[in-house]
Amino acid sequence: MAASGNTNQRRHAIGEFLFRHETILLLVLVAEWFYFNSVGRRFGTLDNTFEIMRHSAEIGLLALVMTPIILTGGIDLSVGSLLGLCAILFGKLWRDVGMSLPVAAVCTLLIGALAGGLNAVLIARLRLPALIVTLGTYSLFRGLAEAITRGVDTFTNFPDSFLALGQQHFAGLPTQVWFFLVVTIAIWLLVHRTTFGRSLRAIGFSPEGARYAGLPVERRIAQAYILAGVVSALAAIIYTARLGQAKADAGTGYELFAITAVVLGGTSIFGGIGTVHGTLFGVAAIAVLDNGLVHARQPREMAGMLTGVLLLAALGAGALPKLLAKLRAPRHSSAPPS
């Protein structure tokens, strides 16, 4: 049984690589790039590339930490709201409490961990459905941000040294891109090169199976949500630095972009399957589309529409072979006894 299909298997492996989600997405990305480069005159410049990176850093961060969560079969709708809340609290700690900016930033990250911890306790410990729990915290976090600012308070006049984080360059790249790179590498290593990522996958495929293998299921799920909280807080600080202000509506709708990028990047919403570089390509595909359409003098809304279509196409491409196989298969299946 092993010997007969060796060449077949190799051909199969090559086919699998070609049709692998990430490969196709990368091709789409390259095609996007060349198309916009030929259409828009300023698109391909280094400045514009930096611009794309600058603008996608925050959503990118959220998408990166959404990946481990979706790998466990969960979801986190609250990251965008948490970004808003953390931005506000960061401003509050600095302006009203009088902390120095670095101290305020550390406190903000801690707050992010706490908020993620709330999700973690409810989902991992009490085993409540992630969709509804994070829908609740989605509303709660945003609501707290609005309550703290009374809907109008805006934090501005940050010192230039802080704004440099979001608006200046460092060592040739926009400053926040360095943060993004560090987080990307960290999460890529975490998911693909550590037992943490291995455990998340196992949990996503089969929570019971993971438990029988002695994996710390609750703890791993909880860690994924806490990590999301911390990185959302980091995204909030970068967001504040880029725009030079913190408002309660910061990051509205970002959670949906993040989820879209993750699923577009080939991560299965049912858990287990997915890669961090896939998510990265997903973020890039959306960001390039968004920016490129402007350069191509197309309406910006087209970016959203095309992202949605791309998402459906990605999902459909995954489902279609299964459907066809099912239609072709004989109706009377004889499965072995279980």
Partner 1 sequence: MQKYSRELSVAIVLALLLLVMAVAAPAFYDPQPLLSRLAREAPTLIVACGVALVMVAREIDISIGSIFALCGVCAGLLAGSGWPLIAVFGAVVVLGAVLGAMNGALVAGLRLPSIVVTLATMVILREGLRWKQQGAFINLPDAWQWFGLSQRGGQWALIAGALIILAVLAWASRHLAGGRFLYAVGSNAEAARLAGLRPRWITLAVFVFMGALAGLAALLNVVQSPQVDPKSGTGLELKAIAAAVVGGVAVSGGRGNLWGVFVGVLLLACINPALTYLHVEAYWEKAIQGAIILLAVIFDGLRNRRATN
Partner 2 sequence: MATLLELRNVTKSFGAVRALRGVSFALEEGEVHALLGENGAGKSTLIKVITGAYALDDGEIQIGGQSVSHLTPARARALGIACIYQQPALFPDLSVAENIALRLEKTSPLHTVGWAARRTRARELLHRIGAEIDPAAEVRTLSMPEQQLVEIACALGAGAHVVIMDEPTASLTQKEQHLLFAVVRDLRAHGVGVIYISHRLEEIFALADRVTVLRDGESVGTNPVDEINESALIKMMVGREVTAIYPPAQSAPGASRLTLKKVGCSQSGVHGIDLELRAGEIVGMAGLVGAGRTELARILFGLTPADTGEIQLGGQAVQITDPRSAIAHGIAYVPEDRRRHGVILEMPIAANTTMAIHAQIFPGTWLRSTAERQLTLDFIRDLGVKTAGPQAPGGSLSGGNQQKIALARWLATKPKVLILDEPTQGVDVGAKSEIYKIIRHLAAEGLAVLMISSDLPEVLGMSDRVLVMRGGTIVAEFPHGVDAHDVMAAALGQKKEAA
Q: Three-state SS string across 210-235, please?
A: HHHCCCCHHHHHHHHHHHHHHHHHHH
Stretch that binds partner 1, among 35-43, 98-106, 176-184, 307-315 (CB under 8 A): 307-315
Among partner 2, partner 1, none, what does residue 312 contact (CB within 5–8 Å per kind)? partner 1
**Residue 282 CA, distance from chain mean position:** 9
Among partner 1, partner 2, none, what does residue 142 contact (CB within 5–8 Å per kind)? partner 1
Of 171 and 325, CB closest to partner 2 = 325
**Residue 56 CA, distance from chain mean position:** 11
The CA distance from 244 to 228, in Å, is 24
Stretch that binds partner 1, among 101-109, 166-174, 277-285, 294-302 (CB under 8 A): 294-302
Contact 203, 220 (CB under 8 A): yes
Contact 269, 150 (CB under 8 A): no
Of 5 and 253, CB closest to partner 2 = 5
Of 18 and 132, CB closest to partner 1 = 132
For 67, half-sphere exposure in the C-beta direction (CA atoms, 13 angstrom radius) is: 35
If one asks whether residue 302 binds partner 1 (CB under 8 A), the answer comes out as yes
If one asks whether residue 260 binds partner 1 (CB under 8 A), the answer comes out as yes
Among partner 1, partner 2, none, what does residue 137 contact (CB within 5–8 Å per kind)? partner 1
Among partner 2, partner 1, none, what does residue 164 contact (CB within 5–8 Å per kind)? none
Q: Tell the residue number behind the tokens 């196989």, with chain if given.
A: 325
For residue 337, the minimal CB distance to partner 2 (Å) is 6
The CA distance from 274 to 170, in Å, is 32
Q: Three-state SS string across 285-324, please?
A: HHHHHHHHHHHCCCCCHHHHHHHHHHHHHHHHHHHHHHHH
Of 157 and 334, CB closest to partner 2 = 334
For residue 134, the minimal CB distance to partner 1 (Å) is 10
For residue 207, the minimal CB distance to partner 1 (Å) is 15
If one asks whether residue 141 binds partner 1 (CB under 8 A), the answer comes out as yes
Q: Which parts of this chain interact with partner 2 (CB under 8 A)?
A: 1-2, 9, 193-196, 198-199, 201-202, 205-206, 208-216, 272-273, 332, 334, 336-338
The single-letter DSSP state of residue 174 is: E
Among partner 1, partner 2, none, what does residue 139 contact (CB within 5–8 Å per kind)? partner 1
By the 10 Å C-beta count (0-12 exposed, 13-18 middle, 19+ buried), 127 is classed as exposed
**Residue 278 CA, distance from chain mean position:** 10
First to last CA, the chain: 22
Contact 217, 120 (CB under 8 A): no
| Per-residue x/- track, 115-134, partner 1 (CB under 8 A) | -------x---xxxx-xxx-
Residues that bind partner 1 (CB under 8 A): 75, 122, 126-129, 131-133, 135-144, 146-147, 149-151, 256, 259-260, 263, 269-270, 299, 301-305, 307-309, 311-312, 315-316, 319-320, 322-323
